Amino acid sequence: MTINELQDQVIEEFSAFDDWMDKYALLIDLGNSLPPLAERYKTESNLIEGCQSRVWFQADYADGKIIFQGESDAVIVKGIVSLLIRILSGHTPQEILDADLYFIDKVGLREHLSPTRSNGLVAMVKQMRLYAVAYQAKSASCRSSGNSANVLR
């Protein structure tokens, strides 16, 4: 599925609820369904700056696509991590960089999150885009040098 198709799917899921308490419950359920991040990835370099709670993202590059994993120690934030991974993981760096993440406003996340969580969401998206920039540059470098190694670790 494209990033926009995945966003539309998320918007549809959230539109089933009128009450924000129900939407928070959905976020918590999504976070609880997120596979735990391996301890070896819970490092300072994977910790997202700008988040009040602790949030880690791991990005790997395979077959031209970025695969994200992540976790948070806060249940609602973990749900947001789950949504971002669901929408952006498995796409090319260029698709991630070109993505307009309109689902954030459409489901009401921006207006219903506390200022600190909202800042954290911005920091998470920024970090995921930075991974995309790095992998795109690494991929271009490998192509130009004839080296097909996909490493950025």
Catalytic residues: 51
Distance CA 65, CA 115 (A): 32
* Structure token digits, residue 82: 């789950």
Task: For the chain, give the DSSP string.
Answer: --HHHHHHHHHHHHHT--SHHHHHHHHHHHHHTSPPPPGGG-SGGGBPTT-SS-EEEEEEEETTEEEEEEEESSHHHHHHHHHHHHHHTTB-HHHHHH---THHHHTTHHHHS-HHHHHHHHHHHHHHHHHHHHHHHHHHHHHHHT-------
